[in-house]
Amino acid sequence: MNRKIEYILTSKPTIEGAGVHLKRAFGYNEVPLLDPFLLLDDFRSDNPEDYIAGFPWHPHRGIETVTYMLEGKVEHGDSMGNKGIIGAGDVQWMTAGSGIIHQEMPKGINGRMGGFQLWVNLPSTHKMMGPRYRGIINEQIPEVLTGKNIKIRVISGEVDGIKGPVEDLVVDTEYLDVSMAPDTEFEHSIKKDYKAFAYVIGGSGYFESGKSRSIGEENLVIFKDGDSVKIKADDKDLRFLLISGKPLGEPVAWHGPIVMNTREELEIAFDEYRNGTFIKKKP
């Protein structure tokens, strides 16, 4: 059964970090609508004043952050000793677990910079796991050509027997970047009972069979349950992220960059950050 649309959300202007202007597709106000996902930010811009202030050193605990770059680059460093550059087409899949402190400083190329950051919640059994970092460069992400003029970058999950490079995930997550030529149709199986959504990067299309409303850029489509999605591009190219994952069904206590299950756990985390005992695993 093809999934129908449950909600359509338009991303909203937000300021984060040291003054980065971005669009938030969903976040705190949508919990638990997209369980196990917590947040999706779209930080594409051709104005350096929107992003140059960046995201200076800050903590995370209890989540995974997934940064996917389309243009420009982000210089990063963390408390585990990792540092480097996330360039166009690269992915940083960082598991904060028991605690990590990091910074992300965007840099434009010819003024342009952009990508997305997704937050994936961790179950209570893994909130305090050891942090880990995975950097995947553009060339490591397979591209699958399917149907007529449809290209799929497989970051995690599987398409036509081709698996993405990010495996061994705590929360079973499929992350696809789909590009479609005009008037093409794409159908993809998604595990039943998994939460699924699409975020339109460019162009417009139809995200439910038999529906006449075309959905355009910077809109989030949340699907109802079912076995698959069926998506059709209209008369222009369509590009979107298609993401699905297994819900946790657990309480969410969230403040700033830390997401736990109870208010008491949040208070402990912030107390530890203030007194210097936040980092449990040294580099």
Residue 101 pLDDT = 97
User: What residues pair up with 113 in beta bridges, in sequence order?
Assistant: 45
pLDDT of residue 15: 98
Q: pLDDT digits over 80-98, tens only?
A: 999 999 999 999 999 999 9
User: pLDDT tens digits, residue range 211-228?
Assistant: 678 999 999 999 999 999
Digit-coded pLDDT (tens) for 180-213: 999 999 999 999 999 999 999 999 999 998 767 8
Main-chain dihedrals φ then ψ at residue 239, nearest 5 degrees: -135, 135
The tokens describing 237, both together, are 């190219």
The pLDDT value recorded for residue 62 is 98
* Range in 24-28, 43-47, 145-149 with the lowest mean pLDDT: 145-149
The mean per-residue pLDDT over the stretch 227-247 comes to 97
Per-residue pLDDT tens digits for 124-180 = 999 999 999 999 999 999 999 987 799 999 999 999 999 999 999 999 999 999 999
- The β-bridge partners of 189 are 228
Task: Give Cα 162 to chain centroid, integer Å.
Answer: 20
Q: How confident is the model at residue 283 (pLDDT cuts 50, 70, 90)?
A: low
Number of residues in the chain: 283
d(CA 249, CA 272): 27
The model scores a pTM over 0.85: yes
Write down the pLDDT at residue 43: 97
Question: Which pLDDT score is estimated for 148?
Answer: 76
Residue 11 is classified by DSSP as -
| Residue range 45-64: mean pLDDT, rounded | 97
Residue 276: other Cβ atoms inside 10 A: 7
Residue 280 has pLDDT above 90, yes or no: no
At residue 24, the pLDDT reads 98
Predicted confidence band of residue 281 (pLDDT cuts 50, 70, 90): confident
* CA torsion angle 84 173 140 54 (round to 10): -30
Section 226-233 average pLDDT:
96
pLDDT for 237 equals 96
Share above pLDDT 90 across residues of the chain, in percent, rounded to a whole number: 95
Mean per-residue pLDDT of the chain: 96
Task: Tell me which CATH homologous superfamily contains domain 5-245.
Answer: Jelly Rolls (2.60.120.10)
Q: What is the mean pLDDT of residues 19-31?
A: 97
pLDDT of residue 147: 77
Q: Angle 188-193-198 (CA atoms, 0-180°, nearest 5)?
A: 45
Region 231-248: mean pLDDT is 97
**Which pLDDT value is given to residue 209?**
83
What's the pLDDT score for residue 249? 98
Question: CA-to-CA distance for 127 and 120, rounded, in angstroms?
Answer: 12
CA distance 268 to 271: 5
Residue 103: its H or E element: strand 100-107
The DSSP string of 145-158 is EETTTEEEEEEESE
Domain ranges in the chain?
Answer: 5-245
